[in-house]
Structure 1
Amino acid sequence: MEYRKIGKKEVFSREIEIDVPGTLLSWDFYTEHRRIGFGLYFRPHGETDCGELEKPGLSGKQEKGRASAGGKDLVEILPTSNVKASRNLVSGEHKTHAAGLYVFRFDNSFSRNTKRLHYLVQAADTQKNRFFAGKVYLNWTSGFFCGWSRKWAVLHESGLLELKTPTNSHTRKIDLNTASPILETRKNGILILTPNNLLRLKVRKADEYSKWAHALSPWTEKSGVQPPTKPCEAETTDDEDVFYDVSEEETTPGRRRKLPCFVQPRNISMASLIPTLLGSKKGSLPIEIFEPLSGLQKLCEEIEYIDLVRNALGEKDARDMLPWIALFALSGCASLAARTGKPFNPILGETFEYTCKDLNIRFVGEKVSHRPLVFATHTECLQNTFTMWTTCTTHTNTSFSGIELVSDGETHLVLNNTQDHFVWSRSGVKTKASFSSKKSLGLDGVLEIRNLKTDDSFSVCFQKKGLFGSQKNAVSGAGGNGRKEYAVTGQWDSAVQVRELATERCFVWTKNSPVQHAEAQFGFTAFAVSLNEVTDDLFDKDTQRWNIPPTDSRHRRDIRLLEEGEFKEAAREKERAEKIQRENTLPGKHTGKWFAPSVSSGGWEFTGRYWDPEEKTQ
């Protein structure tokens, strides 16, 4: 499209010379401010000359003062009339009846305001260059600020989408043939997933959105990426103070591969952090900081690479087991890669269960203390080959620059066939995530792994990022029994190698690939996406009873709303849950329902009663 500024009290004419009668003329235009006059006129060949025309038969001129119909020598085809060109694209066609000069007049002589006109007039080849245009709003982020900016979008038949600023000073071009446009009809939204970015567009009016949906249909159908249907929102109940039910209609067969909604990453408003940083009791962290998982679900992510433990079970020598266990302990950090969101703080007494027959494991966790914050988890193999348990204490420091998470506690892993007992602690490891527009995350500290049966040990150091980003996310370390027998190299967010120095044998771990369009799904892997899913086996349709306790994290409505992209509603539900937590947290020691304090270890032990169906559904 062409662009022209039409000053106040001015008229702009665009002329096309037609030599062959029957030629089809077409016009498409819109303005960025209110109305403009438009008319079409004709001057036959051989009559009064109107001046030299620009080649190839197109001419444009601008004149001061209010004009008449265009001169006595012009024949009126469409009389000049004011049209609302700022609301919609104005289009039309006319089949010429005679050879001559056809004049398109854009009249701003009635206005004292300058009009910005985007137009395209064509002859004969109209059908070869069709397009659709209209006003949209683009979501943007810059530093700590975000919002919606008005754009003029032009969609060409070739698949080129142009987003123009109101002043036409900048045009952003997107090739839909290499992108995946997705329609969010519930929000009048359009998501465009490009190879390197995610764009979120919004159309204000439903009728305009339906036109955009029709214009984009060739590419939305071709991309094959469709937004999942939003699950039915469950209503809150007064029977459970903290936990919320979800409708059985949410269940879907199999494990899901994507979240219910694609979400554009949002920056943090610094003003929303001030009450929390100043110590206000009513201060609540903004919802943009969080990801749709609870702290217990985050701990469950550490068993994603449980196959490394099975590799250890296949070793005959206990010394060859330790490298696999060291890689497994290190792989628990991989869930932090490409993730800067904070998991939701579980409610006191909240639980989470995860059973996966493909991996032959089942996991259960419970928040057993609020102050200090203590989680207890238990994982076991369905074939009874190993057992793992964790007691974890976490502390969060929030500042204007980001979040620092300090974890303390131990993880124990026992191989039942050999009674090898491995233990590791991350008490010296700190996780730091920034709030800036270029979000980053790093680990600092040392991870220690020991085999209590053989006294072999591993020590893995998280190296600090060097100048200009060198050694980013790098790890190094060594292992053995009193002397260096193994060397550790790699990056904790992608791949790590343990090399046996004597035999040059290598033990390797590589991170699983994230889901498709992970940048719009909180950076989740397929395993993380499945954690908050409500599957058919969790609800018995015959007895109309849940097979998980009402305290399970899947019942939390704030997490459910956030993964659906409902930020405002999720923030309200989070504040509601936090208020109930403050009111119900009484001084004194809380007694866990599924875990009991251990006198010998100082941690929490699994009682085993959870797996009784009658016990856990009461």
Structure 2
Amino acid sequence: MASQDKKQAGGFFASIASSLSNFGSAMHKSVNGLLGYEGLEVINPEGGTEDAEEEAHKGRWKQEDRDSYWKMMQKYIGSDVTSMVTLPVIIFEPMSMLQKMAELMEYSYLMDLADECEDPYMRLVYASSFFITIYYACRRTWKPFNPILGETYEMVNHGGVKFIAEQCCVIIAIPVQVSHHPPMSAGHAENDHFVYDITSKVKTKFLGNSLDIYPLGRTRVTLKRDGVVLDLVPPPSKVHNLIFGRTWVDVPGEMIVTNMTTGDKVVLYFQPCGWFGSGRFEVDGYVYNAAEEPKILMTGKWNESMSCQPCDMEGEPLPGTEMKEVWRVAESPENDKFQYTHFAHKLNSLDTAPKKLLASDSRLRPDRYALEKDDLSKAGSEKSRLEERQRAEKRIRESKGQQHIPRWFDPSSDVAPTPWGDLEVYQYNGKYDEHRAAMDSSDNIGEIDVRSTEFNPWQYGNLATE
């Protein structure tokens, strides 16, 4: 499909679109032999003149931490390491993956515009720009916490959007074996203009000093005015310099947003980082009609802005038209340790949390909170405690022959194909709407101090009595 689109999209973007297969890679600096590690490379996206050893020692790791972590991780090279190993908190940010799912809602106004738009092609411009905005958050090199089974995240105070996400199942690492039931999160958001549903899991491939990340998920958005259904196929990501050197993220690949109702679609090419940073962050592509004819060209950078312009059948800009900016990243706090936007900080804040917050909410995680306060020792011990409690619950569940039952989402009979494997789909069951309405109408809301609420996603209340 992509190659056919590229052939049709001649002229203005032809060389850019076809460059995916020809682009040079970023500056590679092998540390093999220099530091006593076999098969490792440090990749500097800006190139530069530093020698490999100097570059390898940069980054957030102390040398003794690098040595220890590498000894632990080298046996996993070539493997999917999703939840397989216990990772040190030094590489984490004070946010769970469920909160990161909610970050997409920062620019929900773009999906509002898509719903209001009369032009079916501009509708796809707004929708695809909405999906691109999350990659600014993916630029961060810190890892979010894996959600605990039963963990939730809720948001009700942004642009009229009500958002709920839940961890529906997990892989749990134990000393002898690993459960291979895939970890999956489900999310649902809604306002007056759209309904957003996602079932999310990732597949990884650990390559020593880098990690390939494949998004095995299904994302569907229904626009309320006309009932149009949009489907997303996102590109993969690659994290470079995990242990040696300065960590950075690249997103080389293709994003496709399809109007399932009409057959129109957007195909966008995320350019891989080339020599001395050339092409880094760049996104280029077209909106096509159902006959796969280009109608609007799109260009920009996924960490900065996106623009569009009507085009002819050859993909060239139409005479008399101008490039129009559709989205630009919001201003962020200066010198923020975790490179958070103002919106990302609100996702962690209890001051902006819903009334009578669910006890399973990510904001209440003690490891996340300790890391936010820069207490790495406590964050590490709390993380270990939560993971051990999760393992203990798994043992009890298996001894009882029980399964974990998500609270706000139900497994469906749908199996969604993705470029990286099939996905079992979870669907929102509507119960959270009832819960939130009851909480918001309660008369004793003011009597609850959410800061004193203990994090509680657990299926079993007291392990000692189980």
- Fold match (TM-score > 0.5): yes
Are residue 266 (structure 1) and residue 60 (structure 2) matched?
yes
| 1:314-363 deviations in Å (ceiling 9; x for gaps) | 322223211110111111212122x1001000001110001124x11111
The answer on whether the counterparts of 2:287 and 2:296 sit within 8 Å (CA) in structure 1 is yes
Q: Return closer, same or farther for 1:510/1:584 CA change in 2, 3 Å cut-off.
A: same
The answer on whether the counterparts of 1:380 and 1:388 sit within 8 Å (CA) in structure 2 is yes
Are residue 432 (structure 1) and residue 432 (structure 2) matched?
no
How far apart are the structure 1 equivalents of 2:333 and 2:309?
30
Q: Return closer, same or farther for 1:329/1:353 CA change in 2, 3 Å cut-off.
A: same
How far apart are the structure 2 equivalents of 1:278 and 1:580?
26
SS of 1:515's partner is coil
Are residue 606 (structure 1) and residue 428 (structure 2) matched?
yes
| 1:350-405 deviations in Å (ceiling 9; x for gaps) | 10001124x11111000111130111000001xx3211110111134445413332
What amino acid is aligned across from residue 320 of structure 1 in structure 2? Answer: M
Structure 2 gap ranges (5+): 1-53, 171-180, 313-317, 416-423, 440-455, 457-466
Are residue 335 (structure 1) and residue 140 (structure 2) matched?
no
What amino acid is aligned across from residue 431 of structure 1 in structure 2? Answer: K
How far apart are the structure 2 equivalents of 1:429 and 1:616?
40
SS of 2:367's partner is helix
How far apart are the structure 1 equivalents of 2:334 and 2:300?
25
What amino acid is aligned across from residue 366 of structure 1 in structure 2? Answer: E
Show the counterpart of 1:569. Answer: 378
How far apart are the structure 2 equivalents of 1:434 and 1:538?
38
1:128-207 alignment, distance < 5 Å: none
Alignment partner for residue 531 of structure 1, among 304, 323, 347? 347
The answer on whether the counterparts of 1:272 and 1:286 sit within 8 Å (CA) in structure 2 is no
What amino acid is aligned across from residue 369 of structure 1 in structure 2? Answer: C
| 1:203-236 deviations in Å (ceiling 9; x for gaps) | xxxxxxxxxxxxxxxxxxxxxxxxxxxxxxxxxx
SS of 1:598's partner is strand
Alignment partner for residue 455 of structure 1, among 242, 245, 263? 263
| 1:167-226 deviations in Å (ceiling 9; x for gaps) | xxxxxxxxxxxxxxxxxxxxxxxxxxxxxxxxxxxxxxxxxxxxxxxxxxxxxxxxxxxx
| 1:450-488 deviations in Å (ceiling 9; x for gaps) | 011111001111111111211111112122111111222
How far apart are the structure 2 equivalents of 1:282 and 1:448?
30
The answer on whether the counterparts of 1:378 and 1:388 sit within 8 Å (CA) in structure 2 is yes
SS of 1:590's partner is coil
How far apart are the structure 2 equivalents of 1:380 and 1:523?
27
How far apart are the structure 2 equivalents of 1:293 and 1:275?
25
Show the counterpart of 1:249. Answer: none
How far apart are the structure 1 equivalents of 2:68 and 2:410?
38
Are residue 278 (structure 1) and residue 75 (structure 2) matched?
yes
Show the counterpart of 2:366. Answer: 557
The answer on whether the counterparts of 1:276 and 1:285 sit within 8 Å (CA) in structure 2 is no
Are residue 295 (structure 1) and residue 111 (structure 2) matched?
no
**Structure showing greater Rg:** 1
| 1:42-78 deviations in Å (ceiling 9; x for gaps) | xxxxxxxxxxxxxxxxxxxxxxxxxxxxxxxxxxxxx
Q: Return closer, same or farther for 1:480/1:574 CA change in 2, 3 Å cut-off.
A: same
The structure with more helix, counted as a fraction of residues: 2
Alignment partner for residue 366 of structure 1, among 140, 163, 166? 166
Cα distance, 1:434 vs structure 2: 2.5
SS of 2:294's partner is coil
Alignment partner for residue 485 of structure 1, among 283, 295, 311? 295
Cα distance, 1:600 vs structure 2: 4.0
Cα distance, 1:570 vs structure 2: 0.6
How far apart are the structure 2 equivalents of 1:591 and 1:568?
33
Are residue 517 (structure 1) and residue 299 (structure 2) matched?
no
How far apart are the structure 1 equivalents of 2:271 and 2:296?
18
How far apart are the structure 1 equivalents of 2:357 and 2:370?
20
SS of 1:472's partner is coil
Alignment partner for residue 128 of structure 2, among 323, 326, 329? 326
1:334-353 alignment, distance < 5 Å: 334-337=136-139, 339-353=140-154
Cα distance, 1:538 vs structure 2: 4.1
Alignment partner for residue 380 of structure 1, among 168, 184, 190? 190
Show the counterpart of 2:284. Answer: 476
Q: Return closer, same or farther for 1:284/1:399 CA change in 2, 3 Å cut-off.
A: farther
Cα distance, 1:613 vs structure 2: 3.4
Cα distance, 1:552 vs structure 2: 0.7
How far apart are the structure 1 equivalents of 2:300 and 2:352?
40
1:187-266 alignment, distance < 5 Å: 266=60
The answer on whether the counterparts of 1:596 and 1:604 sit within 8 Å (CA) in structure 2 is yes
TM-score by length of 1: 0.52
The answer on whether the counterparts of 1:276 and 1:284 sit within 8 Å (CA) in structure 2 is no
TM-score by length of 2: 0.68
How far apart are the structure 1 equivalents of 2:274 and 2:309?
24
Q: Return closer, same or farther for 1:477/1:267 CA change in 2, 3 Å cut-off.
A: same
Q: Return closer, same or farther for 1:317/1:490 CA change in 2, 3 Å cut-off.
A: closer
How far apart are the structure 1 equivalents of 2:275 and 2:327?
27
The count of aligned residue pairs is 345
